[in-house]
Amino acid sequence: MSVNPPALPLAGVKVMDLSRALAGPYAASLLSDMGATIIKVESIKGGDSARSWAPFDGDHSLYFDSANRGKSSIAVDFYTPAGKKILWDLAVASDVLIENFRPGVLNSTGLDPELLRAANPSLIIASVTGFGPTGPLSQAAGLDQVAQGMSGLMSVTGLDAENMYRVGVPIVDLVTGIYTAFGVASALAGRKEGGAGSAVSASLLETGLSLSAFQGQQYLSTGEVPVPRGNNHPVLSPYGVFKSADIPLIIAVGSEKQWVQLCALLGAPELAEHPDYATSRLRTVHREALRELIDGLLARQTAAQWLADLRAEGIPAGPIYNYEQAFADPQVQHLQMVQTVQRSDGTALPLLRGPVSVNGRAPVVAKAPPALGQDTLAILEGLGLSAEQITGLMEAGVVYDGAPSSVPTGEVPRG
């Protein structure tokens, strides 16, 4: 007898996703992974700005696709009375509203938070901003790399103090999305106790600063300003990229036991007792000389041979993959992180699933990233509108149903 799997933790939770680009949409996708129903509400005039961002697969933005799994889309004219009424009805019927307009812009769409809470006291409103909801930069536009630079993250990333780099993915946006989803999940848990909704906020600047970890703490406690260390760990050694007989590999020694094991494995047990390398602090002070020694010892074997030996000893180690190699790795394939879904136009889309499993159950992509407005009719029907009312809204240009024959034009309203 087959047994249905248990419901996911957020099954039955309704989320209205008014956000655009990455942080907010990524948060909503993470909530979808946990079972929430996500209605992505987009402007009829172009939709989410990420729909126009490269890279593309035909007419499909892969930037958009990567952050909008598991959602339904309704396209609405935000600034008509009828459009505002639809936004209001959707918000009042939701458990969570996620938005990333500039502070105050949400009100211009008719969604005043105080009025919404009067109509739906249990509503959780999650707001994502560039620099925080108050302060001298609260109205300034903020994007990922701006936050990477301003938060100090770029100052510890790169070859050296003269060559500082951005992280190769929009890490601040992504982690802000994770923080936002965490805040929403916490507010939902709290709502079960008290019944009232909450206001959750996150900003790119706060996220970037929160990622400073020991680098920021070093400055706060000692006044010493950290600098980039290339591919070396800032405070541990040996921990970084090393040469082998063919290609580089990563070795990460995190304890004295592993250091002794590494020396023995490299055929140089005497290194463990060398006065320059006897402690973690000394190894960091003399990291360059130690790296040259280890590179010379590693030159005797290929990276694959060393990786097998290192892993057998329990020493953390791994290759440096490009994405083709990463997706081909047997462990990655075993985890089945890539799932193929069908877009509304019938094209196939290989898509990464969410990374968090519950009770041994890995997330399933509930729905392919939606075309603009592809679910408009179903969502309006869910609000109780009649066929005649929906037709009237379509003919008046208040909503768009995703049909190619009636593609709306215009600019996306900026918040």
Q: What residues are annotated to the active site? A: 173
CA distance 178 to 28: 9
Contacts for 80 with CB less than 8 Å, ≥ 6 apart: 396, 398
User: Up-side HSE of residue 320: CA atoms within 13 Å toward CB?
Assistant: 12
Q: Any bridge partners for residue 60, and if so which?
A: 57
Q: For residue 74, which of 53, 93, 56, 55 has the smallest C-alpha distance?
A: 93
List for the chain the helix, strand, coil content (%; round to 5).
40, 15, 45
The three-point CA angle 97-87-353 to 5° equals 45
160 in Cβ contact with 181 (< 8 Å): no
Burial of 280 (0-12, 13-18, 19+ CB in 10 A): middle
How far is residue 237 from each of residues 45, 89, 115, 287, measured CA to CA in Å?
54, 58, 56, 6
126 in Cβ contact with 177 (< 8 Å): no
How far is residue 317 from each of residues 16, 149, 176, 231, 293, measured CA to CA in Å?
43, 30, 29, 14, 18
Tokens in use for 280?
């973690």
Residue 411 has φ and ψ, to the nearest 5°, of -95, 150
DSSP per-residue codes, 74-120:
EEE-TTSHHHHHHHHHHHHT-SEEEE-SPTTHHHHTT--HHHHHHH-
